[in-house]
Amino acid sequence: MSSLLKSVFTAAYPVFCLVVFSYMLSDLLGSEFSWNHLGIVISSGAGMLYFVLLFLLNKTSTDKFIQLYSWPIILGTALAITALFIEEFELIHLIFTLCVALGWLAYLFWSSAFYDRDENKILQIGNELPNLIFESEKKEKVSSSSFHGKFAIYIFYRGNWCPFCTAQVEEVIKEQKELEKRGVSTIFVSPQPHKYTSKLGRNRGGDFHFLVDVKNKVSRQLEIFCKNGLPASFQVFGFDSDTVLPTVIITNAIGKIIYTDQTENYRIRPEPADFVKVIDKYNSEK
Q: What residue segments make up the domains of the chain, in order of their start? A: 2-111, 117-285
Distance CA 144, CA 132 (A): 5
How does pLDDT run across 176-192, given as a tens digit for each residue?
Answer: 999 999 999 999 999 99
- The distance between the two most distant Cα atoms of the chain, rounded to a whole number of Å, is 73
Q: Choose between 2 and 285: higher pLDDT.
A: 285
| Arithmetic mean of pLDDT, 40-58 | 96
| Arithmetic mean of pLDDT, 194-222 | 95
| Arithmetic mean of pLDDT, 199-204 | 90
How does pLDDT run across 114-129, given as a tens digit for each residue?
Answer: 988 988 999 999 999 9
| Arithmetic mean of pLDDT, 25-52 | 96
User: Residue 203: what pLDDT?
Assistant: 82
pLDDT exceeds 70 at position 1 = no
Contact of 142 with 134, CB cutoff 8 Å: yes
Q: Per residue, what are the HEC states of 87-147?
A: CCCCHHHHHHHHHHHHHHHHHHHHHCECCCHHHCCCCCCCCECCCCEEECCCCCEEEHHHH
Helix (H, G, I), strand (E, B) or coil at 211: strand
pLDDT exceeds 70 at position 212 = yes
| Helices and strands counted in the chain (H then E) | 9, 9
How does pLDDT run across 8-27, given as a tens digit for each residue?
Answer: 999 999 999 999 999 999 99
Band of residue 70 on the pLDDT scale cut at 50, 70, 90: very high
How does pLDDT run across 245-267, given as a tens digit for each residue?
Answer: 999 999 999 999 999 999 999 99
| Arithmetic mean of pLDDT, 147-168 | 97
Distance CA 263, CA 112 (A): 11
Domain 117-285: CATH superfamily, name plus number: Glutaredoxin (3.40.30.10)
